[in-house]
Amino acid sequence: MPESHPVFADPGFESRHGVLARGYGHREDPEDPSAVLAMPLVLHIPKGEPPARSALLEAAAVATVALCLDPRVGKGEDGQPGVWRDAFLSWNDARIRKVSRRARGAHWRAAQDIDGVTVDRGGAQARAFVPGPVGGLDPRIARLQIGGTDLPDDDPREIPDGVPVLWVNAALGMTVGKAAAQVGHASMLLAGALDADSARAWAATGFRCAVRDAGRDRWSGLLARVGDGTAVPVRDAGFTEVEPGSVTVIATAS
């Protein structure tokens, strides 16, 4: 069974939130490409009964922000660093790269033994792992395929009142793997943009959110909200699939 994320009522939450609030990208990438840091994401996509795309993207978004605010990336009550803290801070101080892979069956089960957080949303499951060098991936993750499988658009239910929404730029036609990485970016950027009390309240819901595609007209309105500071954009570096500087996802708190 997937592990459940904690309800962040501990005194270290504010400090962990402060790391997200101060942003990322404070240092350049290393010259050695294998030393570049990334957070792996693994999407559970069974062959016979694949999950709904929107639910899988929600699971990826929640798993990402849950790991970013997990007590193990902070300091304990004794002041000692959590077991994931150094790896997480090194990654967050660089560019917040994520790489999505897919798994099923025994490979998915094996992935649960690697440090990370698994989230289930309506039967769709995703696991975010502690970041590390791309050249030093655990073989159980490295053997998983990055591409080769996509999911059709679905028709999710109406958005519940008061739930943050991660709007995906439908015009870009991103694969599910690319979109998973982008909504993962969006969830952690949104958490950092919230004040600590609001972020704590969101955490107490299990980071409940909705992922939806935005067509041209809605996207135009969302860009206007970015301009007036009421929405949080994800601008992609353009390493895969999209042009550098593309706005891939826009997050709204409600």
Write out pLDDT tens, residues 35-85.
Answer: 999 999 999 999 889 999 999 999 999 999 999 999 999 987 778 899 999
**Of 123 and 27, more confident:** 123
Residue 224 has pLDDT above 60, yes or no: yes
Q: Would you say residue 64 lies in a domain?
A: yes
Whether residue 5 lies inside any domain: the answer is no
Number of residues that this document lists for the chain: 254
For residue 193, the domain's CATH number is 3.40.1490.10
pTM of the predicted model, to two decimals? 0.93
- Residue 4 pLDDT: 41
Is residue 4 one of the residues assigned to a domain? no
Band the pLDDT of 9: cuts 50, 70, 90.
Answer: low
Total domains in the fold of the chain: 1
pLDDT of residue 7: 45
Instruction: Evaluate if residue 219 carries a pLDDT over 80.
Output: yes
Is 204 a domain residue? yes
Q: Is the pLDDT of residue 226 over 50?
A: yes
Sequence-ordered alpha helix ranges (H) in the chain = 13-21, 53-68, 85-92, 105-111, 139-142, 176-193, 196-204, 216-227
Handedness of CA 213, 177, 247, 25 (dihedral sign): positive
What is the spatial distance between Cα 204 and Cα 196, in angstroms, rounded to a whole number? Answer: 12
| Residue 243: per-residue pLDDT | 86
Measure Cα distances from 249 to 6, 23, 131, 236 in Å.
26, 17, 22, 9
Under 8 Å between Cβ of 252 and 164: yes
Range of the domain at 44: 13-149+159-252
Is residue 203 in a domain?
yes
Residue 6 forms part of a structural domain:
no
Among the listed residues 53, 210, 74, the one whose alpha carbon sits nearest the alpha carbon of residue 123: 53
| CA–CA gap between residue 9 and residue 200 (Å, rounded) | 7
Q: Is residue 176 part of a domain?
A: yes
Q: What is the dihedral of CA 112, 100, 85, 96, to 10 degrees?
A: -170
Alpha-carbon distance 81 to 236, whole Å?
31
**Average pLDDT of the residues in 96-122:** 96
Q: Rounded to the nearest 5 degrees, what angle is found at the Cα of 242, between the Cα atoms of 237 and 248?
A: 75
Reported confidence tier of residue 253, pLDDT bands at 50, 70, 90: very high
Residues whose CB is less than 8 angstroms from the CB of residue 162 and which lie 6 or more positions away in sequence, other chains included: 254
Residue 154 within a domain: no
- Render pLDDT for 12-21 as a digit per residue (tens, 0 to 9): 999 999 999 9
